[in-house]
Amino acid sequence: MDGQEDTNYSIKQLIKKAKASHADVRIGKKGVTEEIINEIKRRLKEHKVVKIKIGIEVENRKEFARKIAELTEAKLIEVRGFTFILAKENDSN
């Protein structure tokens, strides 16, 4: 396995682990604040994969998750119910 394949494998393992765990970040009544975005970015840098729980009313959960992914420069992996998973594929960002 070369370095790229090894990285992809570890990201897949981290995503699998995130799916089975509780949310790392909860977006609550204050909504999407600079602090929330910074916390998600910090966790992505540290852990590569973050599971986020939506605790507020949103019109379209998938669109909301896409927007958070865009703001945090991450890839949206999955939206399931009120949770979604973001992953950082490389460290260039």
Domains belonging to the chain, first-starting first, are 3-87 (3.30.110.60)
pLDDT score at 50? 97
The set of residues, in sequence order, having a beta carbon less than 8 Å from that of 51 and lying 6+ positions away, is 18, 19, 21, 22, 23, 24, 25, 83, 84, 85
**How many residues in total does the chain contain?**
93
pLDDT score at 6? 72
| Strand ranges in the chain using DSSP code E only, listed in sequence order | 25-27, 49-54, 75-80, 83-87
pLDDT score at 4? 66
Q: Which residues of the chain have pLDDT under 70?
A: 1-5, 90-93
